Structures are given as C-alpha cells and as structure tokens.
Structure 1
Amino acid sequence: MMSKKKGILNAVFLITVFAITIYAIFHGQDLGELFGYIRNTDYRYWLVAVVCVVFFICSESVIIYYMMRSIRQKIKLMHCFLYSFVGFFFSCITPSATGGQPAQIYYMKKDKLSIPVSTLVLMIVTITYKLVLVVLGTLVVIIRPAQLMHYLEPVLGWCYLGLLLNVFCVAFMMFLVFHPTLAANMMDAIIRGLGKIHLMKRTEYYREKMANAMKQYQDVAGYFRTHKLVVTNVFLITVVQRLLLFFVTYLTCRSFGIDGTGMVTIVVLQGMISVAVDMLPLPGGMGISESLFLSIFAPICGTLTLPAMVVSRGLSYYTELILSAVMTAVAHFTIGRPRKQKREER
C-alpha cells in the first residue's frame, strides 16, 4: 500500500504544510474575535454540511459498486463504502491526491478482487472526477458571467493554471485509453532513449511494466466502448457528488447569516477553487485553498471572510479527513480478516 519511508515523508510534508498554513492564516489575527464569530453561527447548517460530506464520499462507493456489478464482479456494497473512505483519506494526506487509488487497490486486492479490474474501475472514476472540473472551468471561462468574473478577478491566474493542468491530465489519460498502441510506442521510445543516454537503468524492466500498464489502458478503452450508458451515468453521479461538496460553502455562509449572494454563485465559486487547486502538489490543496477562499469571498463575506473560511475548510476538508481516517482504521481491521481467520482455522 505505502512503504514506511514514504509514509513518514508524507506525514512530515503534511505536518509542515499544515503548520505553515496555520501560521500564515492566523498570524496577527484576533483569535478571540474569530472564535466569537464562529460561536454565534447557526450550527444546524453545519449538520447538513457534514451530511453532504458523507454523501460526497459515499457517492464514489455507489459508483464503484455500480461499475463492478455492471461487469459482473461480486462485491459488497459495505466494502465499497470502506474503499471510498480509504481513498479519500490517502488522497487528503498525499500531494496531488496520489495515494488514494493505490491504497484502494491494496484493500480491493485483500478482498480478492482482480487488480486489473480494480485499476480499470478506479481509472474511470478518476477521469470522470476530473472531467467534471474541466467542464465547470471551461464553461466559466467561455461564458464569463460578469458576476462570477468579478469575484474571480484576483485569482484568475490560478484558475487558468488549474484548468490547464486538469485539461492536460484528462486529455493525457484519454489519450492513453483510446490510443494505447500509439501511447505505448511513444513511451517505449522515451524509455529506450533515456537508456541510451544513461539517464535510466533497467530499461527492459520498465519497458515490461509499461507494456503491462498499456494492457490495462486497453481494457479501459474496451469498457468505454461497450458500457457507454454506464460511463454516462457515472459522470452524472460524479456531477452530483462534486456539487455536494461545493454546497458546503453555501451552507457555511448561511450559518453566518450571509445571504446576499445566490446559492449558484457561491457553489460555482467554490467549484472554481477546486479547479485551481486540484492538480497542485499539495495535500488537500492545503494553503492555496485557504488563500483563494479569502481572496474570492472577501466581497461576499466582508468581516466574516476568515471565520467563514475556517468553518468551510473545517467542514469540507478536515471533517472528510477525520471521518476517512476513522473508517480507514475500520477497513484495516475488517477487510480480508474473515478469510484469514478461516484459513487459520483450517
């Protein structure tokens, strides 16, 4: 799943980024006044927000279960919930969310699920997950609604960068999926070239790994071609999933009594923050997400901007992190354990 050395490095990086973020945000602030604002909020909105976060995580479970069943894989819905919590936990604590899928595949393997099949399903999840951001960002950039652009003006550079990175990522993955032979030839040429100039050792080993990876991409392409309705439904579920998390920011604003801006505007603005930070090499977009929120929502929240940011991030990111950590522990002690006990009894 993750080597101890890599886990320690990720933990150190996460703590460092967290410490810098906390210092940058709260340095010179009146914490008494800040928490005074927070104490006066309507906590009922927070409860709804937590429910949205739980449904956001569990939506991926539904997608995994739906796709696995569509290709006649025996899988437990409850374990799909655990896979999702595991994925989001490791995504929250690793740069660019790179640790999520390897961790999910590890637990799927413990459930005796095929690694190629698991990889196929999770790759489609990743493509659709990022595609939603690409569609949102592209629509905003093309239509350029005056009200939204007014709020986004201070951070447009970050939005363009994030959209460009997401477009590149989705395009690259789709290229690998639909043109696996051409992609394989290109990757093979790159590996051989690096070997010739002595920048890469064990070229045959990496060429073999690359060939195996291309086989998985061919499987994904086959799935796209033969399960178009399934993929379309997955995309639609993913749209709802993403909106649920963006909606947390609107609920946060309402909990502070901020009601001068419409729900759609706030949800889309939060969505653009996700567009900007999704591909950056920071765990959970930590640091930059807070900074963009403070810039974008200052005209909307006024003196309540910092308290609203603290609550919004606390609900959308840290609640997700804590819940996922707890359920990851549950997954660790339950997935694969019954079969192990039965083997020991024999």
Structure 2
Amino acid sequence: MENKKKMIFNVLFLFLVFGATLYGVFHGEDLSEIAEILKTVNLYWLLPGVVCVIIFIWGESIIIFYMMHTLGIHLKKWKCFLFSSVGFFFSCITPSATGGQPAQIYYMKKEKIPIPVSTLVLMIVTITYKMVLVVIGLGLMIFGRGFIRTHMYDIRHIFYLGTGLNVFCVASMLLLVFHPVLARSILVKGMELLEKMHLMRHKSTRIEKLNASMDQYHTTAVYLKDHMMVLVNVFAITLFQRFALFTATWFVYKAFGLSGTNAFVIILLQSVISVSVDMLPLPGGMGISEKLFSMIFEPVFGSALLIPGMILSRGLGYYTELLISAIFTIVANFTIGRNLRKKA
C-alpha cells in the first residue's frame, strides 16, 4: 500500500513538474512559428542523436554484464539491457533519480540474483556515474576558467553548487565503502542529534537497517580492493556512455544546418547542464535543465532557434530516453523471471 502511494505521488509530481516546465518554456512564445521552424529540421541528423540515447542506455547494461561476469554470474546481454532500461525509466520519473536502483534490484531478484550482489554492482555503477560528473566539474573549475567566463558565466553559481553536491555525494559513498566504521559512527551520531532536536522519531529498527547497510558497504570495499582494474574499466565505459548522451545536442545543432561552434564546446556545455542539475530533487532535472539551456545556448543556436533547439535537445536527452526505457521496462515486466516462473 505504501509503495502504491509513493508511486502515485511520484507520477503526480512528474506531471506537475512537466506542466510547469511546459508553461515556463512556451509562455509568451509563438507556437505556430516554432512548429514551422521544427518542420525545417534535417531529420537525418537526428537519427544519430537517437543512437546516442540508445548507446547511453546500452552502456550501463554492458557495465552490469561485465561486473556480474566478474562475480561469477553469467547473464545474457539482452537481460542486462532490460535491467538498465528499468533503472533509467524509474530514475526519469522519480525526484533525484531515487527510484532507479530499487527497481533494478527488484527485477534482478526475480532472476534469482542475490540482493547483496545486485546492490554491490549498482553501488559501483552509481559511484562511477557520479564520478564522471565530478571529473567534469572539477576539471572545468581548475583548468577551464576561461571557458566558464566565456560560455557559462551567468550560471556559474548553479554549476558550482551542482559540482559541490556531486563531490559531496561521491566522497560520502567512498567514505562509506572504504571507512565503514567511521561512516557508521558519523551516521549514528547524526541520527542521535536529529532525535534530540525532535526532527526524527527514535526507532530501534533504524539501527538494524544501518548495520545491514554497513555490511553491504563492507562487501563493496572488499570487492574494490581486489578488483581495482574493474573500477577503472567501469569508469572508462561510463565516461563514454555519458558523453554519448551529451553528443546528442551537437546532432541537434547540425540538424538546423548551423555551423560556427565546434562540437567540443556544445558537448561540454551540455555536460555542464548535467553536472548542475544531477543532484537537484527534480525528475530528470525538468524545469531547471530547460532554464539553463536557454541561458547558455542562446549564443550557439541564436534567439530564433533557441526554443526549437531546446525542444529537440531535451526531446532526445530526456524524453526519448524516457520513452525507450519505458518500452523496455514493459518488456522486462513480461520477460524477466519468466523461465523461473515456468519451472515453478
């Protein structure tokens, strides 16, 4: 019952944010003019953009397949693609992408994959996923000050906030993995403080859940110490995966027949948006992503093509991803665990 209520809330919240985003983007705009501009787009340039989205989803499935193989669990690649699709679909529709991994663990459990194993794999996926954003954010802050002044000066504070939140997230996860005793002590004291301030009710079961979580983090630490090259390989695949999605915006740029801005600048600007919004509690960064796009891409697309460019870029980078992952989530619902059900 509680899960159903949570799902209903997430769906309602998604539609609320979607409606507010549509209003914010199209309020005061000439919709017929936008429609006419979109008709002039070269669709052949958008097809590689769709391929980029598929590569993005496929990239995580390769990581899952690879890591499961190192743990002695042999899965078919198409099942790993379904697990990946499930994760992206639920991440797209839940605030801060919190629903993706629990859904993946649920579907992996249907394939008789032990929860500690699926948790370990998905934890490393999350760490490397965030680590790519940290590398981009810190790299720009240290080596790209000229780029920040030239292309994104007006949004620098949001970018710094997003980078800081991602650094904090990755640092916290690494602390939990490599120093679980210290992390447990910090969390216990934090919960005690919140209980004293009457911001949290005292529950003995909370400590039990914490201890169970610490066991999972300890397992992750042991695995990483013995398989550091696995982490390096997963990071490399994640880097390729994420930049594949960022590249979709460059194909949108070419679809309008534009030139003058090189691919590197466009891809990096799109990555800046991802760094800035990734940790914000909005499904798929809706609303804030469109706002940041309009602020930093106007010199690239021009005022006339800015809104159509935003529609196609977000259409590929978020809504196409949502649609493709939704289709394969439906497939997963009918196929994952089917053979096991037949045997039962």
Give the Cα separation in 2 of the matches to 1:145 and 1:198: 44
Shift of 1:7: 0.5
Give the Cα separation in 2 of the matches to 1:128 and 1:227: 14
* Residues 201-280 of structure 1 aligned to structure 2 (within 5 Å): 201=201, 203-280=203-280
Cα distance change on mapping 1:166 and 1:319 into 2, 3 Å: same
In the alignment, what sits opposite 1:300? 300
- Give per-residue Cα distances to partners, 1:296-342, cap 9 Å, x unaligned: 00011112111101001001110000111111011011111221122
Give the Cα separation in 2 of the matches to 1:172 and 1:147: 29
Give the Cα separation in 1 of the matches to 2:258 and 2:5: 46
Shift of 1:28: 1.1
Q: Which amino acid aligns with 2:63?
A: I
* Residues 303-322 of structure 1 aligned to structure 2 (within 5 Å): 303-322=304-323
Shift of 1:143: 1.3
- Give per-residue Cα distances to partners, 1:174-203, cap 9 Å, x unaligned: 111110011112222333454566654453
In the alignment, what sits opposite 1:76? 76
- Give per-residue Cα distances to partners, 1:35-56, cap 9 Å, x unaligned: 1111111111111110110011
In the alignment, what sits opposite 2:93? 93
In the alignment, what sits opposite 2:281? 281
Q: Which SS does the other structure have where 1:205 is aligned?
A: helix
Give the Cα separation in 2 of the matches to 1:267 and 1:144: 14
Larger displacement relative to structure 2 (132-141 or 68-77) = 68-77
Shift of 1:76: 2.3
Q: Which SS does the other structure have where 2:96 is aligned?
A: coil
Shift of 1:154: 1.3
In the alignment, what sits opposite 2:125? 125
Contact 1:195–1:203 (Cα < 8 Å) also in 2: no
Q: Which amino acid aligns with 2:324?
A: L
Contact 1:191–1:206 (Cα < 8 Å) also in 2: no
Cα distance change on mapping 1:19 and 1:211 into 2, 3 Å: same
Give the Cα separation in 2 of the matches to 1:158 and 1:197: 31
Give the Cα separation in 1 of the matches to 2:290 and 2:20: 12
In the alignment, what sits opposite 1:9? 9
Q: Which amino acid aligns with 1:151?
A: H
Give the Cα separation in 2 of the matches to 1:196 and 1:258: 60
Give the Cα separation in 2 of the matches to 1:233 and 1:257: 37
* Residues 186-205 of structure 1 aligned to structure 2 (within 5 Å): 186-195=186-195, 199-201=199-201, 203-205=203-205
| RMSD of equivalent CA atoms | 1.5
Contact 1:191–1:203 (Cα < 8 Å) also in 2: no
Contact 2:148–2:156 (Cα < 8 Å) also in 1: no
In the alignment, what sits opposite 1:335? 336
Give the Cα separation in 2 of the matches to 1:141 and 1:199: 36
Contact 1:91–1:97 (Cα < 8 Å) also in 2: yes
Cα distance change on mapping 1:175 and 1:147 into 2, 3 Å: closer
Contact 1:192–1:203 (Cα < 8 Å) also in 2: no
Percent identical among aligned pairs is 52
Cα distance change on mapping 1:145 and 1:197 into 2, 3 Å: closer
Number of residue pairs aligned between Structure 1 and Structure 2:
343
Please tell me whether residue 50 in structure 1 is matched to residue 50 in structure 2.
Answer: yes
Shift of 1:147: 4.2
Q: Which amino acid aligns with 2:328?
A: M
Q: Which SS does the other structure have where 1:258 is aligned?
A: coil
Give the Cα separation in 1 of the matches to 2:140 and 2:44: 31
Give the Cα separation in 2 of the matches to 1:287 and 1:198: 34
Q: List alignment gaps of at least 5 residues for structure 2.
A: none
Cα distance change on mapping 1:200 and 1:304 into 2, 3 Å: closer
Give the Cα separation in 1 of the matches to 2:306 and 2:221: 45
In the alignment, what sits opposite 1:172? 172
The two structures have a TM-score, normalised by structure 1, of: 0.96
Shift of 1:291: 0.6
Give the Cα separation in 1 of the matches to 2:243 and 2:156: 21
Cα distance change on mapping 1:114 and 1:102 into 2, 3 Å: same
